[in-house]
């Protein structure tokens, strides 16, 4: 079956397009025929997936701060996007302890700026606000969190994402309500909560997969903070497919307000694994390496975090395609290819997208 989504000629604004998820999303949407306007800070890792994919020349590329409301509103007015994917964020828990103010300003006021710019721009039909699985009040229980569970967050990053959820809900009720859709406004606003994503091209600090790859490629031991922690691991293409499907349905449906809600995108229950297990499998796929465990983790992290994905399965028709085994194989294959010196990472990334579409 052909991949069912078509964004041919659709104007899509992506915030955070220079980051890990944003680069995969930009490439995928280009393949699906969209015209992209990207709004972000310059890439902040070396290497950078955005640069490796050489995406700048095929999109409208804007380097500016999401906190600069005036500039952002000008971009919305000038380019009149139909779909907005809002990914720009300070996305790191550790950095959020060091720079809480920056984290809240970027993640909360940044989201406010995007929603406010949408309120002032008639062209927008769909906005997908990317938050996190960490937005839930973590009860350290074995059950997966559902979309209606209470929001919370014990660290500045997690709580900033819960704040972004609450803010978006208020905008949805106040300005973009389902009852007034197609009457006083045109916008479907959804929030999306994905798990821990992996895939080629992530070099952020203090994330498990990039930490493993940095250590393995330098023949150093991988240092683990919380080996027994359980997380909902998934390939980056899985939630991105969820975001695309959601946007596509919201754009074309006869009843678009069905999609103006919060959505979880995570793996099936069996793929929610411990850090230690994931690392042991990575070492095997890499062909060698070792890990050591820190005696005193430098900051607090939840022990168990699972997502319930029933709603996306039943109401959206989305489901994970790649299990943890395939996800790890694709991810490690991508990094091994890179570190073996094959620099045409665009081709490999496109091949993986194509495989996902067919899978």
Ligand X SMILES: NC(=O)c1ccc[n+]([C@@H]2O[C@H](COP(=O)([O-])OP(=O)(O)OC[C@H]3O[C@@H](n4cnc5c(N)ncnc54)[C@H](O)[C@@H]3O)[C@@H](O)[C@H]2O)c1
User: Which of 34, 66, 224, 245 forms a contact with ligand X (CB under 6 A)?
Assistant: 66
Best CA proximity match to 93, nearest among 168, 205, 203: 205
Residue 329 sits in the site that holds ligand X (CB under 6 A): no
Best CA proximity match to 201, nearest among 50, 32, 33: 50
* Residue among 144 and 256 whose Cβ is closer to ligand X: 144
Residues 99-118 that bind ligand X (CB under 6 A): 106
User: Which of 29, 34, 52, 91 forms a contact with ligand X (CB under 6 A)?
Assistant: 91
Is the torsion defined by CA of 24, 204, 216, 323 positive or negative? negative
Residue 159 sits in the site that holds ligand X (CB under 6 A): no
By three-state DSSP, how is residue 233 classified? strand
Residue 80 sits in the site that holds ligand X (CB under 6 A): no
Residue 158 sits in the site that holds ligand X (CB under 6 A): no
Residue 90 sits in the site that holds ligand X (CB under 6 A): yes
* Residue among 210 and 256 whose Cβ is closer to ligand X: 210
Whether the upstream peptide bond of residue 47 has omega within 30° of 0, thus cis, is yes
Distance in Å, CB of 182 to ligand X, minimum: 29
Distance in Å, CB of 44 to ligand X, minimum: 6
Residues 128-157 that bind ligand X (CB under 6 A): 130, 132
Is the torsion defined by CA of 107, 93, 143, 231 positive or negative? positive
Give the Å distances, CA to CA, from 278 to 132, 205, 229, 328: 20, 18, 11, 8
Nearest position to ligand X, beta carbon = 19
Q: In angstroms, rounded to a whole number, what is the distance separating the alpha carbons of residues 291 and 215?
A: 9
How many positions of this chain bind ligand X (CB under 6 A)? 24
User: Which of 83, 84, 89, 112 forms a contact with ligand X (CB under 6 A)?
Assistant: 89
Q: Please work out, in degrees rounded to the nearest 5, the angle formed at the alpha carbon of residue 21 by the alpha carbons of 19 and 23.
A: 60
**Cβ pair 165, 336 in contact under 8 A:** no
Distance in Å, CB of 255 to ligand X, minimum: 28
Residues in contact with ligand X, shown as a per-residue x/- string from 185 to 214 under the rule CB under 6 A? ---------x-xx------x----------
Residues in contact with ligand X, shown as a per-residue x/- string from 13 to 52 under the rule CB under 6 A? ---xxxxxxx-----------------xx-----------
Give the Å distances, CA to CA, from 110 to 64, 102, 259, 329: 12, 10, 23, 35
Cα within 13 Å of Cα(89), Cβ side: 29
Residue 349 sits in the site that holds ligand X (CB under 6 A): no
Interface residues with ligand X (CB under 6 A) are 16-22, 40-41, 65-67, 87-91, 106, 130, 132, 194, 196-197, 204
């Amino acid at each position: 079956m052909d991949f069912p989504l078509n964004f041919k000629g659709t104007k899509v604004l992506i915030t955070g397009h220079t980051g890990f998820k944003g680069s995969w999303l930009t490439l995928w949407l280009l393949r699906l025929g969209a015209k992209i306007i990207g709004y972000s800070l310059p890439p902040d890792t070396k290497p950078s997936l955005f640069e490796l994919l050489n995406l700048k020349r095929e999109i409208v590329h804007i380097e500016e701060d999401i906190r600069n409301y005036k500039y952002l509103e000008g971009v919305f007015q000038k380019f009149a996007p139909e779909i907005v994917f809002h990914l720009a964020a300070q996305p790191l828990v550790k950095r959020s302890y060091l720079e809480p103010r920056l984290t809240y300003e970027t993640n909360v006021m940044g989201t406010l700026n995007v929603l406010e710019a949408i309120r002032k721009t008639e062209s927008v039909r769909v906005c997908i606000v990317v938050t996190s699985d960490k937005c839930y009040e973590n009860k350290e229980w074995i059950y997966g969190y559902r979309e209606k569970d209470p929001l919370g967050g014990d660290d500045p990053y997690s709580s900033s994402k819960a704040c972004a959820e609450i803010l978006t809900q208020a905008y949805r009720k106040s300005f973009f309500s389902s009852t007034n859709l197609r009457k006083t406004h045109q916008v479907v606003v959804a929030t999306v909560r994905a798990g821990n994503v992996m895939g080629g091209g992530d070099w952020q600090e203090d994330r498990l997969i990039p930490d493993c790859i940095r250590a393995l490629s330098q023949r150093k031991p991988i240092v683990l903070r919380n080996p027994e922690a359980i997380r909902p691991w998934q390939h980056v293409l899985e939630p991105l497919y969820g975001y695309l499907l959601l946007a596509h349905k919201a754009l074309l449906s006869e009843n678009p307000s069905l999609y103006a809600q919060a959505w979880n995108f995570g793996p099936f229950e069996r793929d929610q694994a411990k850090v230690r297990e994931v690392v042991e499998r990575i070492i095997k796929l890499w062909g060698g390496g070792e890990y050591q465990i820190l005696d005193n983790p430098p900051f607090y992290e939840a022990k168990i975090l699972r997502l319930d994905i029933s709603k996306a399965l039943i109401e959206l028709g989305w489901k994970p395609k790649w299990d943890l085994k395939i996800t790890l194989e694709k991810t490690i294959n991508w990094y091994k290819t890179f570190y073996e010196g094959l620099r045409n990472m665009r081709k490999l990334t496109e091949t993986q997208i194509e495989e996902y579409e067919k899978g």
